Amino acid sequence: MRRTARWLTAVNTLSAPRVASQRSRVDQVFDRMVHRAERRAEADSAVAQEFVDSYRFLFREVAKLDTLSMIGWQGYVDDLTRRMTNHLRVERLIAEHPEIAAEPIERPIVVVGLPRTATTLTHKILIQPEGNRAPLMWELMNTHRGDIDPKLRDKLVKDAQTMASLASKASPVWDLIHPMNALQPEECVFALPHGYQFITRTTMPAYRRWVDERDYTEDYGHLKRVLQVLQWNQPRKRWVLKTPFHLFNLDVLLKVFDDATIVWLHRDPATVMGSWCSLVETGRALHHRSYDPSRIGPEWLEIFGKGVADARAVRSSASRERFVDVPYHSLTADPYGFLPKLFERLGMNWTMKEEANLEQVLARPGMRRSHEYHLSRYGIELDDVEEAFGDYGRLGF
């Protein structure tokens, strides 16, 4: 399976000296990124100095990667610039309209679970009722008020779509793995300032240690402010959020969103780790001129093994009503029978409209993946997975 477009090889070879030059001037490059973000956000970075400094640290770690390709380097430059722009814009909008910070984010539904556990299917169904709403990709990346000028909105949508399209052009398999569209619902990672999502692209030991020890209260505070900006002066709906990475910070999430309900998808980790490692490999292939796939498995087994253990610990001390379990095999074997029960648990009605929506979602390409991946390619075996997750895979969910 070819993971990158053929033209990337030539581009990466020709651009290697330029990337090396920019990596050697990392702080100068970052300063230009900050100035660009300030200009686009119409805000001074001094209002979020700690946030900007945290990205300088991350960018310095990125600059240490001597295998980074032009696509990889420029991807980080564009991504971090866009994230700083968005953060500063959100802060400016709330400073200009303090009432935004009083917007209630009521009873959000948060879909979590290991990757490849039908979280996407569940999320797509839960956002269908008229009273529910998920943030769109462009809204997470380029957050702005709902009543902005249509021309500005189109510009922000186009910017987000450009990023989404680049991944498709650079990798012939990306749309099969994680199709992205600026006008479609997307995962919260685009609005979470830090986390393991950055490690999908490359191994960065110092950044990972920093992430392991981070207090994510401010990260989830920013996510809440993003939702408040999007909701301000708009009809209030029940937010439906999703990302596997929420598993790592359930304690903070439940504190910031104090009436959230967690919908947790469960599946034997042995059946999902190969697929996840393959997705990570595609990200590594896009971002590096060379990489070792056998390093991916041990790294992500450790990350997800600890993440699930921490999430289970949080759950054991939280109110039982805050969690709804969704066994993968129960959902996929009989979605028409299982989902009405899930809706009932969430205080929602299952109607003929929801049943028709389910039929459409199941018919979409990519909703039923049949391919599997060999763990051995990624330096792990079945026994390693069972050891990393303990009894989680045998709990009978």
Amino acid in position 321: E
Helical spans, DSSP H, in the chain = 7-24, 26-41, 49-63, 70-96, 119-126, 137-141, 150-170, 174-177, 205-213, 217-231, 250-256, 273-287, 296-317, 328-333, 335-345, 352-363, 382-389
Distances, alpha carbon 270 to alpha carbons 111, 239, 374, in Å: 21, 31, 11
- CB neighbour list of residue 77: distance below 8 Å, 6 or more residues apart: 29, 33
SS3 238: strand
112, 264 contact by CB (below 8 A): yes
Across the chain, mean pLDDT equals: 91
Of the candidates 229, 256, 223, 231, the one whose C-alpha atom is nearest the C-alpha of residue 94 is: 229
Of the candidates 265, 243, 268, the one whose C-alpha atom is nearest the C-alpha of residue 253 is: 243
Amino acid in position 1: M
SS3 109: strand
What order do you get walking across the sheet with 109-113 strand by strand?
A: 132-133, 238-242, 109-113, 261-266, 323-327
Q: What is the dihedral of CA 293, 16, 22, 48, to 10 degrees?
A: -30
Q: With a cut of 50, which residues of the chain have pLDDT below it? A: 370-371
Q: Alpha-carbon Rg of the chain, whole angstroms?
A: 21
- Please give the distance of CA 9 from its chain centroid, rounded to a whole number: 28
Give the pair of three-digit tokens for residue 271.
Answer: 């059946």
Of the candidates 308, 249, 251, 231, the one whose C-alpha atom is nearest the C-alpha of residue 276 is: 308
90, 225 contact by CB (below 8 A): yes
Domains of the chain: 1-96 (no CATH), 107-135+185-394 (3.40.50.300)
Separation of alpha carbons 110 and 242, rounded Å = 6
DSSP state of 105: -
What pLDDT is attached to residue 117? 93
Beta bridge partners of 112: 264
DSSP state of 101: G
What pLDDT is attached to residue 394? 74
pLDDT tens digits for 256-306? 999 999 999 999 999 899 999 999 998 898 889 889 999 999 999 999 999
